[in-house]
């Protein structure tokens, strides 16, 4: 370990998000480059650092700082240097020299204890004197707080977030109730708060800990798709989490209800416990759906006349159910269309659009993901966008919702007569609530989706609950059209959904099954299919072909498959920069996926000359892209997503990305690929079900190839059990209706 003491001469680079800093430090006639995470260092400061020298491939020798101490400037040169460095807003080098010349070594004591005396210096007013004193005090307080927080193992970036939120109250919060941070600050969470509490000496059965544990158990439940938990399950999960007897937990549920943190809904003897946020999301969603459900008195003969004209002009023939769907869409403020692949959902949507256009109505189309919106655009010929872009996401939080904000809401509704949303099975309770806030009564809202697809990644079971409530107009398209029957993908998808046998004789042109039992043999076949066989067969590139697997772990899980596929599909090369992260690495040219919603991150679309032509915020769970550049000096990775949106990630943000040569079937929702390859061997029974297989098969446009065990394939068709999802939107709809 090397030590060095000197002044921060120049901050070359600083990442505002994580505090990563590259700076020149000068001391005893020597200048060195230091790197590390320091949110609170300014130019001109006197510091003592300890660390190890590393050799950067481009920028030479640097000191990787592991320990840093800020020293108060004591001699006149140090004080003048610090004040004139720009660290204190409003003081330049000339003014710093005048201050130190006047007060000499007593400068800092004067600023801290008698700041009014700064007016003795020419150019400093009373107001400016106060501002200088406040800045010195703030910086001193923040440094102390950062050092205090770091003794509890809190990173500098999180420590800065905590101090910025609480200010001088930081010490009180940490020592008395660190669980408050889990409620107030994104990024802390129950686990970190619990570790801090243990270090502070808070008892495991403290009231604060149990209440925070209850709320955390509900947060975890939401991550699994639930909007509430039955009381017995909540007690069990909280007891296991906290290692506290369930008998000690029950009374705290009522306390949290009194404090409006929880809502209890009783169903007979059963009690369902909601985090308040989710109860009111469901309740308000039900209320807004009810308000939109208005009827228009339009004669059927008028509608049928319009449809006949559309059929003639577009050279299409609608069946009875498709005609009914268009009629109901015209007559009702809210209606739902559901059906499997090949049942004519797209034709029905197109006929609706043409009908509404003939009436001179303004129409907006949207879907939950970029890929789904792109497909909607291709199939309808009308521009569709993501729901997030439709609602004009700003990434700027507000008091009502600290994580996300949309420009479109009750005060600024969507300017449309008709809003059509596709792939509704993917829409969670958060997104439907945000959408409904922006749709005014009198605007027609048409929801389209396949209710047999997997439910949304986020909490809730929106499409299923709306349909099962039996309150609103629902048209179920069941007839598979003649042209669709020519595709074994569609025929077999319907067979899977109905629990029928699928013929696996490989006489199909678009549905193949390769029987193999060895995981390594299966992987070698995947590579061969992606690199050689499928691209020319489906007229696509290797990057367009998607491996879909049921699991993350195991021999055929996402994590292992991605490591192997990366080697073959984007091998190591001197021309491709890399960045190791976690257990793996990212390489320029890699196919990657965003694995969490990031509403604040900025993207831009650039012209062929590299000039930004459009900017926006937000990248969402499931968005896929290509790593275009890895900048080891700036410590950034640039990814290009659909629609040529380029996003720059700091290295510390790489936890939001993962390789996407193989993805889970859950993550493929709403997407369509020229060809999919599905390895199927073994897996937990609850996961390996009909619903999952149906979703995987329906992701392919031209070709499905399954490699693995026919026994597992048949077992999945026979297994109707779906993972239980606790969702109360249906009950809220029935209460209001």
Report how far residue 466's alpha carbon sits from residue 485's, in angstroms, rounded to the nearest whole number.
Answer: 30
Report how far residue 544's alpha carbon sits from residue 536's, in angstroms, rounded to the nearest whole number.
Answer: 12
Report how far residue 433's alpha carbon sits from residue 368's, in angstroms, rounded to the nearest whole number.
Answer: 13
Which residue is listed with tokens 């559901």?
338
**Neighbour count for residue 290 (Cβ, 10 Å):** 17
Q: Label the pairing between strands 546-549 and 662-664.
A: parallel
Annotated binding residues? 342-346
328 forms bridges with which residues in the sheet?
A: none
Nearest to 214 by CA among 284, 166, 262: 262
Q: Label the pairing between strands 444-449 and 334-339.
A: parallel
Residues 396-432: b if buried by 16+ CB within 10 A, e if exposed:
eeeeeeeebbbebbeeeebebebbbbbbbbbbbbbbb
Which residue is listed with tokens 């257990």?
583
Which residue is listed with tokens 């193989």?
662
DSSP 667-730: GGTT--EEEEEEEES---TTTSSHHHHHHHHTTEEEEEEEEE-HHHHHHHHH----------HH
Residues 6+ apart with CB under 8 A from 35: 20, 21, 22, 23, 62, 63, 64, 65
- 3-state SS, 247-312, equals HHCHHHHHHHHHCCCEEEEEECCEEEEEEHHHHHHHHHHHHHHHHHCCECCCCHHHHHHHHHHHHH
Annotated binding residues for ATP? 342-346
Report how far residue 402's alpha carbon sits from residue 404's, in angstroms, rounded to the nearest whole number.
Answer: 6
Report how far residue 325's alpha carbon sits from residue 336's, in angstroms, rounded to the nearest whole number.
Answer: 9
């Amino acid at each position: 370990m090397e030590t060095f003491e000197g002044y921060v001469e120049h901050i070359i680079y600083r990442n505002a998000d994580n505090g990563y800093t590259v700076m020149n430090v000068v001391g005893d006639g020597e200048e060195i480059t230091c790197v590390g995470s320091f949110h609170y260092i300014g130019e001109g400061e006197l510091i003592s650092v300890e660390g190890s020298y590393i050799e950067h491939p481009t920028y030479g020798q640097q000191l990787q700082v592991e320990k840093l101490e800020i020293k108060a400037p004591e001699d006149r040169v140090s004080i003048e240097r610090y004040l004139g460095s720009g660290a204190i807003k409003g003081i330049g080098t000339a003014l710093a020299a005048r201050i130190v010349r006047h007060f000499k070594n007593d400068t800092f004591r004067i600023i801290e204890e008698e700041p009014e005396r700064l007016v003795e210096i020419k150019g400093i007013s009373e107001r400016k004197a106060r501002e200088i004193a406040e800045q010195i005090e703030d910086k001193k307080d923040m440094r102390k707080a950062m050092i205090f927080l770091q003794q509890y193992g809190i990173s500098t970036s999180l420590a800065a977030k905590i101090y910025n939120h609480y200010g001088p109250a930081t010490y009180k919060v940490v020592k008395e109730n660190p669980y408050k941070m889990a409620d107030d600050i994104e990024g802390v969470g129950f686990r970190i708060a619990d570790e801090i509490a243990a270090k502070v000496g808070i008892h495991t059965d403290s009231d604060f800990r149990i209440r925070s544990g209850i709320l955390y158990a509900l947060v975890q439940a939401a991550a699994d798709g639930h909007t509430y938990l039955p009381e017995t399950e909540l007690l069990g999960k909280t007891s296991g989490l906290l290692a506290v007897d369930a008998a000690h937990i029950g009374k705290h549920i009522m306390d949290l209800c009194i404090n409006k943190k929880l809502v209890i809904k009783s169903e007979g003897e059963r009690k369902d416990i909601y985090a308040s946020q989710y109860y009111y999301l469901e309740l308000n969603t039900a209320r807004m759906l009810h308000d939109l459900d208005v009827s228009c008195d339009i004669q059927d003969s008028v509608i049928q006349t319009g449809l006949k004209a559309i059929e003639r002009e577009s050279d299409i023939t609608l069946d009875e159910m498709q005609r009914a769907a268009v009629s109901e869409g015209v007559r009702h403020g809210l209606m739902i269309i559901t059906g499997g692949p090949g049942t004519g959902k797209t034709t029905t949507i197109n006929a609706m659009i043409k009908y509404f256009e003939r009436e001179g109505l303004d129409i907006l189309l949207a879907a939950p993901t970029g890929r789904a919106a792109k497909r909607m655009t291709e199939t309808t010929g009308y521009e569709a966008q993501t729901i997030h872009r439709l609602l004009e996401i700003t990434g700027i939080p507000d008091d009502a919702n600290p994580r996300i904000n949309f420009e479109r809401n009750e005060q600024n509704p969507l300017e449309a007569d008709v809003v059509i949303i596709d792939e509704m099975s993917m829409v969670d309770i958060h997104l439907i609530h945000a959408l409904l806030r922006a749709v005014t009564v009198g605007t027609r809202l048409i929801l389209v989706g396949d209710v047999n697809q997997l439910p949304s990644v986020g909490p809730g079971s929106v499409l299923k609950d709306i349909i099962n409530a039996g309150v609103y107009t629902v048209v179920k398209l069941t007839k598979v059209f003649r042209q669709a029957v020519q595709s074994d993908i569609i025929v077999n998808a319907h067979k899977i959904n109905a629990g029928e046998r699928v013929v696996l004789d490989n006489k199909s042109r678009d549905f193949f099954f390769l029987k193999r039992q060895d995981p390594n043999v299966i992987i070698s076949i995947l590579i061969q299919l992606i690199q050689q066989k499928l691209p020319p067969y489906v007229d696509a590139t290797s990057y367009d072909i998607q491996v879909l697997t049921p699991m993350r772990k195991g021999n055929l899980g996402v994590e292992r498959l991605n490591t192997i596929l990366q080697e073959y599909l984007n091998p190591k090369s001197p021309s491709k920069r890399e960045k190791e992260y976690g257990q793996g690495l990212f390489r320029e040219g890699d196919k990657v996926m965003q694995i969490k919603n990031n509403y604040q991150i900025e993207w831009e679309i650039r012209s062929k000359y590299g000039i930004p032509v459009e900017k926006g915020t937000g990248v969402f769970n499931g968005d896929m892209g290509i790593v275009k550049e890895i900048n080891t000096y700036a410590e950034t990775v640039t990814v290009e997503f659909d629609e040529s949106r380029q996003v720059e990630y700091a290295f510390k943000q790489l936890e939001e990305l993962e390789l996407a040569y193989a993805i889970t079937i859950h993550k493929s929702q709403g997407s369509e690929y020229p060809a999919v390859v599905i390895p199927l061997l073994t897996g937990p029974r609850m996961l390996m079900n009909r619903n999952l297989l149906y979703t995987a098969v329906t992701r392919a446009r031209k070709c499905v190839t399954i490699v693995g065990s026919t026994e597992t394939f048949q077992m999945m068709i026979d297994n109707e059990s779906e993972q239980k999802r606790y969702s109360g939107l249906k009950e809220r709809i029935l209460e209001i209706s």
